[in-house]
Amino acid sequence: MKSAVLVFPGINRERDMARALKLVSGHDAAMVWHADTELPNGTDLVVVPGGFSYGDYLRCGAIAARAPVMDAVRKFASGGGLVLGVCNGFQILCESGLLPGVLMRNARLKFICRDVHLRVERNDSPFTRGYTAGQVIKVPVAHGEGNYEADEDTVKRLESDGRVLYRYCSPEGEIGESSNINGAAASIAGIVNERGNVLGMMPHPENHVEDIMGCTDGRGLFAGLAAHLKRAA
């Protein structure tokens, strides 16, 4: 699995992501600067990591979405290439038009930094085949603007097309207001585009891939991607 991790000014999770990718795939990820206009040859997966690109000025992800490298990412995605955006990366993917909707301030207007539970809604996607449908996983979040919002028709379309891959839930897998940590529409934590090759999610699976962290629930996402690409090779 040949991965490319984008690096913007203010991004601070690129090394965490690169480490997770190497631990699972055995290969170093290429670090791609925001001013670059091309992705490395043979790239299988582009990752837009979390952090605070450009200091979150204007809107979260709005400036990064207009960086030169994003034209290459849009071209890569249009050709069917896999793209993963985590936290600020999710915001950037929405601002760049690769995913619908927008990430708003958390409903309680507070920064949230803790472990949360997610329900895996389906496992027939490259981003979820490392899990079972309905499985509950525990991963960290760290965001102030993770409240996913979209117009009613868009949310209905996401639901009817099965494009919600991850949803905030209770430890038992129940969906409800008490487990919806940021007020996201339909408890949405992660969605894919129409083609299913671009995923944006707010939680950080890259931080739960090693035993030393006390939980390895995030590992399934990366292992599933590696398995998918190996099968496609």
117 is catalytic: no
**Global pTM value:** 0.97
Q: Which of 14, 60, 206, 228 is catalytic?
A: 206
* Strand 112-120 with 188-192, pairing: unpaired
Give residue-wise pLDDT tens across range 174-186.
999 999 999 999 9
Q: Calculate the dihedral angle through the C-alpha atoms of 229, 195, 90, 5, rounding to the nearest 10 degrees.
A: 30
Amino acid at 183: G
37-48 burial code (b ≥16 CB/10 A, e <16): eebeeebbbbbb
pLDDT at 32: 98
Nearest CA to 119 out of 139, 131, 141, 137 is that of 137
Collect the ranges in the chain with pLDDT lower than 50. none
Cα separation, 153 vs 151, whole angstroms: 6
- Which residue among the candidates 34, 143, 204, 228 is catalytic per the annotation? 204
Strand, coil or helix: 153? helix
Instruction: Tell me the C-alpha distance between 88 and 65, whole Å.
Output: 11
Question: What pLDDT is attached to residue 85?
Answer: 98
Instruction: Identify the H or E element spanning 164.
Output: strand 164-169
Residues 6+ apart with CB under 8 A from 78: none
pLDDT in tens, 82-132: 999 999 999 999 999 999 999 999 998 999 999 999 999 999 999 999 999
Catalytic option among 34, 60, 87, 117: 87
Residue 232: per-residue pLDDT = 76
What's the pLDDT at 183? 98
How far is the C-alpha of 86 from the C-alpha of 205, rounded, in Å?
Answer: 8
- Whether residue 158 contacts residue 189, with contact meaning beta carbons closer than 8 Å, is answered with no
What is the model's pLDDT at position 83?
Answer: 98
- Determine the 3-state secondary structure of 104 from DSSP: strand
Query: In the prediction, which pLDDT does 233 show?
Result: 66
Please give the pLDDT value at position 231. Answer: 83
Determine whether 204 is an active site residue. yes
